[in-house]
Chain A
Amino acid sequence: MSSFSVTEPSNRSKWIAGFLVITYALITMIPLVWILLTGFKSPADAISYPPKVVFDPTLEGYVNLFTTRTRQTQEFLEANPPQNWADEIVRQYDMVIVGPSKFGERFMNSVIIGFGSTFLSIFLGTLAAYAFSRFKVPLKDDLLFFILSTRMMPPVAVAIPIFLMFRNLGLSDTHLGMILLYTGVNISLAVWLLKGFIDEIPREYEEAALIDGYTRFQAFYKVVLPQAATGIASTAIFCLIFAWNEYAFAVLLTSANAQTAPPFIPTIIGIGGLDWPAVAAGATIFLIPVMIFTILMRKHLLRGITFGAVRK
């Protein structure tokens, strides 16, 4: 047997490999776990030193995240007994809930802008990538480079021109403006990634469809698109993660109307002292949509990342 042959790994090396993988997974998950735990701590526990791993869980952080509260006099508090469990939590600080916070709204903004720009990037990116992959486009290489150049500058460098443009176009602090902006940034990534995926799909599939009596566009969406599903899914995840987490443009270009969650969460700190549990709660909830999306796309993602490594 040659030294290059593939043999079944021994039990011992399987154990070692498993141990290493689990250790690595745990290390990368510590910040996530810490955020999750902090969300359920009281403000005092959250900043205690040494850090508390065992503590009395409370929903205080979540209540503070979703509500606005105000301090009240003893007479008022005695006259108005707590309405529900959330009220009871804030009563210990002599406060009452006066209404919902902006978090729900900001979160919805993130959903609209994140998924909207992802959809638009993928839609335009797939069409463009197909054209670049299959047709003779004049100045193809220059155009591809030009598209990519939109990603070369840091947001700060283009923020002021974009800010001025948006103001003149009436796009400042609007959902449409942010969707267009994130699409503009993401489309280069989408075109380049998707072109790679579409390049790998043999042209014969479309040609077979053309011969079988379908038009070029039918061949594209009936034969090429299903083949590109993997690439589209993984590209969509990358686009969504960027748009979802983007902070610099969001903080500069949005305020009252279209502000997304990333610039909003830090502002919680300012409401009634350093409310770390509320920030952690916001971060936890903020993670959920991307996690769900990624899990839904997981089977595509795994193949997408290793695409091209295995000759079919």
Chain B
Amino acid sequence: MAQIVVKNVRKMFGDFTAVRESSFTIEDGEFFMLLGPSGCGKTTTLRMIAGLELPTSGEIYLDGEEISQRPPSERDIAFVFQMFALYPHMNVRKNISYPLISQGMPRAAVKAKVEEVAGILGINDILDSPVGGLSGGDRQRVALGRAIVREPKAFMMDEPLGALDAEFREHMAEELRALHDRMGATTVYVTHDQLEAMQMGDKIVVMNNAVIEQFGTPQEIYDKPATMFVADFIGSPSMNFLPFEGKVEPGSEMVRLNGHDEAVPRLMEGAEGDLVFGVRPEHVFLSDGSEYRARVLAAEYLGTTQIVTLQSPNGELKARIDAREVVNPGESVGLQFRSPAVTLFEKSTGRALRSALNDEVLSNG
């Protein structure tokens, strides 16, 4: 198992930049998520680590060894494709044993190894079936079997759950995570599903437009977003953005939002002009005492909580509140924000201002 270091990697397709200078480190045994909308460069990054694309510039280290220009066969990395890419002309056993055959492993050893892997994945009974008739879940397991059978240094997974139906996806996600914990293998996993990333990942890299927006644990990324893009992309419903014009000084713990003072985590830097007050829906409370008023537009009942859509002087926002609170569309309510969880952004760059909340995280990134 291995540590993977990606250093200043860049990929151009002709004039198109797929990945801009990117650097991050995947520690040994980590379940690492590459998250972002489609076309953001996450799959290209994954393919560069695996060797299916060669970076235009930059270095990739696998266990300290520079591998960025080597063919995939010399990297000892396994890859699970979104559509599984099981060899259609071979049965399950042949598919799983194929990587071992290329290594020239003796037949008896191959057979034993395949049986062992099939046992781990619970697919012994389908070993001699053709892959054509398998269910989505079994295809997924065979693809995983083909990946784990040769005990590679690291696993690359390109949206492996994307081809499964929603119901089964949940189950397979758990199975994948359990498999990872059991094997302790370094895994790099590409997804556009932020829930999947939060649920399964040890660390997440959020990419957008060929650029890494943030790199950190799920908690850091959720609670301390480095950019408006990350704040918007992670979480459902996403973070509320209340635009306002003003000036903030380093050290200040207050901003003026439409004539009201709102507490914020102590700022480490100042800014002036168009700013954005970012607060997650669960950090918005209805409070009759508050002078910051908003009108209720709608309420969605979700069982334990409800999502209330409100019209405030700074624009629309959503609050996630207890389902038992009674709110009626049209009524006017006071709003309160949980100030330690507030992030301020510079509107023009989308960058989060450094504060007591996020200083440590932003210094890493």
A204 pairs with B102, CB closer than 8 A: no
A207 pairs with B81, CB closer than 8 A: yes
Contact among A205, A210, A213 with B87 in the assembled complex (CB-CB below 8 Å): A205
How large, as a class, is the contact surface on chain B?
20 to 34
- Chain B residues lying within 8 Å of A213, measured Cβ to Cβ, are 73, 99, 102-103, 150
Closest to B79 in A: A211
A210 pairs with B52, CB closer than 8 A: yes
- Report how far A223 CA is from B101 CA in the complex, Å: 14
- Chain B residues lying within 8 Å of A226, measured Cβ to Cβ, are 89
B70 to chain A, nearest CB (A): 12
B209 to chain A, nearest CB (A): 24
B83 pairs with A211, CB closer than 8 A: no
Q: Within 8 Å of chain B (Cβ to Cβ): is A141?
A: no
Q: Within 8 Å of chain A (Cβ to Cβ): is B85?
A: yes
Q: Within 8 Å of chain A (Cβ to Cβ): is B50?
A: yes
Q: Please list 28 pairs of residues, one from A and one from B, whose beta carbons are closer than 8 Å in the complex, sorted by A's number.
A: A202-B85, A205-B85, A205-B87, A207-B52, A207-B72, A207-B81, A208-B79, A208-B87, A208-B146, A210-B52, A210-B72, A211-B50, A211-B52, A211-B77, A211-B78, A211-B79, A211-B99, A212-B73, A212-B98, A212-B102, A213-B73, A213-B99, A213-B102, A213-B103, A213-B150, A214-B73, A227-B88, A227-B89
B51 to chain A, nearest CB (A): 8
Please give 5 more A-B residue pairs, beta carbons under 8 A apart, in addition to A204-B85, A208-B86, A211-B50: A204-B83, A208-B85, A211-B79, A213-B99, A223-B87
Q: Within 8 Å of chain B (Cβ to Cβ): is A149?
A: no
Q: Within 8 Å of chain A (Cβ to Cβ): is B119?
A: no
Contact among B51, B81, B99 with A204 in the assembled complex (CB-CB below 8 Å): B81
- Chain A residues lying within 8 Å of B81, measured Cβ to Cβ, are 204, 207-208
How large, as a class, is the contact surface on chain A?
10 to 19
Q: 10 closest pairs, A vs B, by CB? A: A204-B85, A213-B102, A212-B99, A208-B85, A226-B89, A211-B79, A213-B73, A204-B81, A210-B72, A211-B72
- Report how far A218 CA is from B52 CA in the complex, Å: 16
Question: A interface vs B, CB < 8 Å?
Answer: 202, 204-205, 207-215, 218, 223, 226-227
- Chain B residues lying within 8 Å of A212, measured Cβ to Cβ, are 73, 98-99, 102, 146, 150
Closest to A136 in B: B14
What is the total of A-B residue contacts with beta carbons within 8 Å? 55
A278 to chain B, nearest CB (A): 47
Q: Within 8 Å of chain A (Cβ to Cβ): is B270?
A: no
Closest to B81 in A: A204
A215 pairs with B88, CB closer than 8 A: no
Closest to B13 in A: A136
- Chain B residues lying within 8 Å of A215, measured Cβ to Cβ, are 71, 73
- Report how far A204 CA is from B139 CA in the complex, Å: 15
A242 to chain B, nearest CB (A): 29
- Report how far A207 CA is from B80 CA in the complex, Å: 10
- Report how far A207 CA is from B103 CA in the complex, Å: 17
- Chain A residues lying within 8 Å of B98, measured Cβ to Cβ, are 209, 212
- Chain A residues lying within 8 Å of B78, measured Cβ to Cβ, are 211
Q: List CB contacts (< 8 Å) of B96-129 with chain A.
A: 98-99, 102-103
- Report how far A204 CA is from B71 CA in the complex, Å: 16
B102 pairs with A207, CB closer than 8 A: no
